[in-house]
Amino acid sequence: MTKVQPISFDRRRTPMYIQVAAVMRHRIESGYWREGEKISTAVELMAEFNVARITIQQAVRVLQDQGLLSAFPGRGTFVSGRPKPKLFDQASNLKSLAEAVKSNVVKIASVEEGRTLPFLKDGEFDFAPSYAHIRSVQYKDNEPFSVGTVYLSTEIFERDKKRFIKQPTLPLILEMKRVKIVQAFQDLTIGVAGLETSKLLQIDLGEPTAESRLVLLDASGVAVFIAHFHYSREHFAMRRVLLDKSTSSKA
């Protein structure tokens, strides 16, 4: 007659109230629960998530602390705010990406000239003999939204050190007439905030991030530029235009 943990779904990892809070937050973000609206009662949520009352309360408290919910005894719990909408990265080619990056507020965290290579799986391309490592943080509205490292072929770095350690790297490279980039791609995955990243982005260790690796190849197939960045989940949104035959745009 013990019947210790009679829950139906997974309960391995993170605390229940965090998981529940994440789902509730998503309902607010997605508009499923609109701003000002009364959300389901504790009893309903208990049944839906199959958890105890306290667990719902804890989840609500998390979202209260984030300013998204307000609870009133006897009345109910209401959506008191929505996270500001995300800005979409819409760049579809190198040029527009560089243009977008230009307006970023960048703080360089460190610069190293090392022979260590950016660890990458297998030989999709060749490496330069050595790279400069430029570690930086991007800010928007005084909030950090992205951290990462640019690995820049030392040979290129040396040509204009002073500017490279002050400005966003990508636009500078494209401006250099002696460097010809013939191939560029960006790989996106869901990553994890490491020690440094979590501190710089002001998020928890192990939180999910959007992980981006941007690689630029020159005419001989050498990766002269490799950028490896983490974007905080809060700030990441990307739009991929797959088709646009619209003849005219609305005025």
Partner DNA sequence: CTCAATTTGTTCGTATGTATG
Partner DNA sequence: ACATACATACGAACAAATTGA
User: Which residues are at the interface with DNA (CB under 7 A)?
Assistant: 2, 4-7, 11, 15-18, 39, 41-43, 50-55, 57-58, 60, 71-77
CA distance 151 to 134: 7
Q: How far is the CB of 74 from its own copies (least distance, A)?
A: 28
Stretch that binds its own copies, among 73-81, 99-107, 151-159, 191-199 (CB under 8 A): 191-199
- Give the one entry of its own copies, DNA, none that residue 142 binds, where binding means its C-beta sits below a cut-off of 5 to 8 angstroms depending on kind: none
Q: Quick check: 216 and 187 in contact, CB under 8 A?
A: no
- Give the one entry of DNA, its own copies, none that residue 123 binds, where binding means its C-beta sits below a cut-off of 5 to 8 angstroms depending on kind: none
Stretch that binds its own copies, among 35-43, 100-108, 146-154, 188-196 (CB under 8 A): 188-196
Choosing from 199, 201, 224, 251, the residue that interacts with its own copies (CB under 8 A) is 199
Stretch that binds its own copies, among 129-137, 143-151, 154-162, 180-188 (CB under 8 A): 180-188
Closer to its own copies by Cβ: residue 31 or 74: 31
Total interface residues for its own copies by CB under 8 A = 68
Q: Quick check: 240 and 231 in contact, CB under 8 A?
A: no
Q: What part of residues 71-90 is at the interface with its own copies (CB under 8 A)? A: 85-86, 88
Q: Is 23 in the site for its own copies (CB under 8 A)?
A: yes
- Give the start-end residues of each E strand in 61-207: 69-72, 76-79, 105-114, 126-127, 131-140, 143-153, 181-192
223: Cβ contacts below 8 Å, ≥ 6 apart: 125, 126, 127, 128, 215, 216, 217
CA distance 174 to 42: 56
Q: Quick check: 229 and 244 in contact, CB under 8 A?
A: no
- Give the one entry of its own copies, DNA, none that residue 178 binds, where binding means its C-beta sits below a cut-off of 5 to 8 angstroms depending on kind: none
Instruction: Please count the CA atoms within 13 angstroms of the CA of 184 that sit on its side-chain side.
Output: 21
Which own/partner pairs from 8-16 qualify as long-range (CB within 8 Å, at least 24 positions apart)?
A: 8/50, 9/50, 16/49, 16/51, 16/55
211: Cβ contacts below 8 Å, ≥ 6 apart: 188, 189, 190, 191, 228, 229, 230, 231
Closer to its own copies by Cβ: residue 2 or 249: 249
Q: How far is the CB of 1 from its own copies (least distance, A)?
A: 28
Spatial CA neighbour of 152 closest among 232, 218, 231, 220: 218
- Give the one entry of its own copies, DNA, none that residue 58 binds, where binding means its C-beta sits below a cut-off of 5 to 8 angstroms depending on kind: DNA
Q: Is 184 in the site for its own copies (CB under 8 A)?
A: yes
Dig out the tokens for 58 from the structure: 């804890």
- In the complex, which residues of this chain contact its own copies (CB under 8 A)? 9-10, 12-15, 18-23, 25-26, 30-32, 48-49, 85-86, 88, 91-94, 97, 119-121, 181-195, 198-199, 203-210, 214, 233, 236-246
